[in-house]
Amino acid sequence: MKNRIEIVEDNDVVRDGLQLLINSMSDHTVVGAYISCEQALKNLDHDMPEVILMDLDLPGMSGIEGIQRIKKRSPHIHIIVITVHEDSEMVFEALCAGASGYITKNANHSRLLDAIDEVQTGGAPMSSKIARMVVGSFQKNQNSPLTSRETEVLELLAKGKSYTVIADELFIHKETVKSHIKNIYFKLQVNTKADALEIARKNKLI
Amino acid sequence: MKNRIEIVEDNDVVRDGLQLLINSMSDHTVVGAYISCEQALKNLDHDMPEVILMDLDLPGMSGIEGIQRIKKRSPHIHIIVITVHEDSEMVFEALCAGASGYITKNANHSRLLDAIDEVQTGGAPMSSKIARMVVGSFQKNQNSPLTSRETEVLELLAKGKSYTVIADELFIHKETVKSHIKNIYFKLQVNTKADALEIARKNKLI
DNA sequence: TAAAAAATCACTAAGATTGGGGGAGAGATT
DNA sequence: AATCTCTCCCCCAATCTTAGTGATTTTTTA
C-alpha cells in the first residue's frame, strides 16, 4: 500500500516538480495535485490523501484557511506547508491552523521526502530557521524592564485573577499588588490591563 | 578554531561516552564535563563553551534552573537538553527556561552530533516526538464545547478586555457579551473568569 | 557605604466591572 | 417540533479597578 500524497501549489513548475519527485519513490504516490484549496477540498473524499504538501500563497482561499478547513473535515490528514514565507506571523498562523510541518522552499529534495516520512511517523518536520522560531516563541525576553515580582503579578493578571486573589497567592497585601500594577503600567506606558497584557505579550515579558 | 562543547550529565558512562564521541570529531572539543549545574556554573567563565549538552535529572540544582542561570549569565550559549523525559511539562519548562534544542537519549550518535552543528547554525534540534509536541501546542482542540462566537469572546477576555470593550469590538451589546460569558461559564462548569481561562487554556479551547 | 531600586503596606474616593438571577425573540439546524 | 445560537433586556449587590498621595523596610547596586 503506497503512501497517498496530495499537492496544493499554484506554480505549475513547482507542482509538477514535486509530483515527479514524489512519484519517483516506489512507496509514495501523488493522488492529487491542485492549484487551489477549493479544488483540493472538492476532491478530498475521493483522493483520500494521508499527507498534503501545501503552499500558502494560493489563488482564492488562502493556505491558512485551507488548512483549517481540511483539518476540520479530516483531522487525521497531515499537512506540511511548503512556502517561501519565513515571517513568524505566517508560521504561527499555519501551525495554529493545523499544519504538522513547515518547510521553506529552499529545502533540498531529500529533506522534502524525509519530511513526508517524518510527519507520518509522528514527527513535525521543519526547516531549521522555523524550528528556532518556534522554540524561541517559548522563551521570555531577557531584557524585561519589569522586576521578577512585577512579572509574577502580571502573569497572574494574565490568568484573569483579581487583585485580591493575586494578593492571596503571593502572600502579600492587596495594596501591594496595586502598587506593583501601578509600577507595571508606568514602565509599560499604559493605563489599562488589556494594554499592559498586549505590550507584555508582544515583547514576551510574560 | 574548534567548537567548544560542554557536558552536564551525572551518569558517568553517558558523560564519558558523550565526551569521547564529541572529541572524536576533529572540529569539536569538550571544554568541560560536569555532574552538576553548580560545577558547570562555577567553571563557565573559564570554559567558555559555545554549546552545552545538559541532562535534566541532576544532583543538586535541577537542569531547568541550571538552564535559566546559564542563559542569564551567558545568553549566547546554546543549550541542548539530552534526557529521557518526553513528558510535555519537562519539554516546555526546558524550552521556556532557554534551551535551544531537546533530544531524547534514544537518539543515535550521528543525530546528536548533527544537533550540535544545527544549533550553531540557527536551528533548534529536536527529537521528532518532541517537535510534534511543540507544534501541537499551537493547535486548538477541535472538539471544543464552545461555539465560535463564545470562543471569540473568551479570547478577548483572555486579553484582559472588559465586557464593554469586547462588546465594542464585536459590534454587539454588552448584555450579549454577558450572555455569552454566562453560557461559557455554564459549559465549562465554572463561575469566575480565572477558572474559565484556566480550563480553556488547559483544554486548548483558546 | 551611601544611593537607588524594589517590595511592602496605607488611606480615600468614585466609577466601572463582574456575576447571579430572571427572561425573550429571531434565525438556522436537525 | 425541538434545539441551538446569537442577540438583547431587566434588576441587584458585591467586588474590582483606577487615581491620587504617601510611607516603611529590604535589597541591590554603584
* pLDDT 10s digits, B139-167: 999 889 999 999 999 999 999 999 999 99
CB atoms within 10 A of CB A77: 19
Residue A169 approaches strand D within 7 Å at CB: no
User: A81: which chain B residues are within 8 Å (Cβ-Cβ)?
Assistant: none
CB contact under 8 A, A159 and B75: no
Q: What's the whole-number mean pLDDT along residues B108-119? A: 95
User: What number is the average pLDDT over the span B54-75?
Assistant: 93
Whether residue B1 has pLDDT greater than 90: no
Cell numbers placing B52: 552545552
Name the nt closest to A192 by C-alpha to C1': D18
CB contact burial A122-147 (16+ within 10 A = b; e otherwise):
ebbbbbbbbbbbbbebbeeeeebebe
pLDDT digits (tens, 9 = 90+) for B67-111: 999 998 899 999 999 999 999 999 999 999 999 999 999 999 999
DSSP state for residue B140 in the 8-state scheme: P
Chain A CB contacts of B160 below 8 Å:
157-158, 160, 192-194, 196-197
Residue A19 has pLDDT above 90, yes or no: yes
HSE of B1, CA atoms in CB hemisphere, 13 A: 3
- Selecting from A95, A123, A132 the residue whose C-beta is nearest the C-beta of B138 gives A95
Enter the DSSP assignment of B124. -
What's the average model confidence in pLDDT over A111-128? 96
Strands A28-34 and A51-54: unpaired
A64 forms beta bridges with none
Residue A1 has pLDDT above 90, yes or no: no
Window 143-202 of B: residues touching A by CB (8 A cutoff) are 157-162, 165, 192-194, 196-198
Among chain A residues, CA nearest to B132: A124
Q: Which nucleotide is nearest to A182 (CA to C1')?
A: D18
- Inter-chain residue contact A129 with B123, CB threshold 8 Å: yes
Residue B80, beta-bridge partner list: B53, B101
Tell me if chain A has a CB within 8 Å of the CB of B129: yes
Instruction: Answer yes or no: is A178 CB < 7 A from strand C.
Output: yes
Residue A181 reports pLDDT greater than 90: yes
Closest chain A residue to B100 measured between Cα atoms? Answer: A135
Residues of B in contact with A167 (CB under 8 A): none
**pLDDT score at B92:** 97
Closest residue on chain A to B126 (Cα)? A131
The SS3 of residue A153 is helix
User: At A199, which helix (H) or strand (E)?
Assistant: helix A193-202
Q: Under a CB-based contact definition with an 8 Å cutoff, are residues B113 and B85 in contact? A: no
Q: Any atom of strand D under 7 A from CB of B204?
A: no
Answer for the pair B114, B86: CB distance below 8 angstroms, yes or no. Answer: no
CB < 8 Å from A in window 33-72 of B: 71-72
Name the nucleotide nearest A177; use CA and C1'. C8
Out of A138, A142, A160, whose CB is closest to B193? Answer: A160
Report how far apart, in Å, the C-alpha atoms of A137 and of each of A130, A196, A203 are: 11, 19, 11
Q: Any bridge partners for residue A47, and if so which?
A: none
| Amino acid occupying residue A193 | K
Q: Chain A residues with CB inside 8 Å of B161's CB?
A: 194
Interface test with A, best of B81, B119, B132, B157 (most A CBs within 10 A): B132
* Arithmetic mean of pLDDT over chain A: 95
What pLDDT is attached to residue A143?
Answer: 87
* Distance of alpha carbon B176 from alpha carbon A65, whole angstroms: 28
Nearest-CA distance B16 → chain A (Å): 29
pLDDT of res. A142: 85
Average pLDDT taken over every residue of chain B: 95
C-alpha distances in Å from residue A46, one per residue of A1, A28, A76, B53: 17, 17, 15, 48
A75 interfaces chain B, CB cutoff of 8 Å: yes
CA-to-C1' span, A7 to D16 (A): 54
**Are the beta carbons of A95 and B135 separated by less than 8 Å?**
yes
Is there a contact between B98 and A125 if contact means CB atoms under 8 Å apart?
A: no
Q: What domains are defined for chain A?
A: 3-137 (3.40.50.2300), 148-202 (1.10.10.10)
User: How many percent of chain A have pLDDT more than 70?
Assistant: 100
In the predicted model, what is the mean pLDDT of residues A1-25? 96
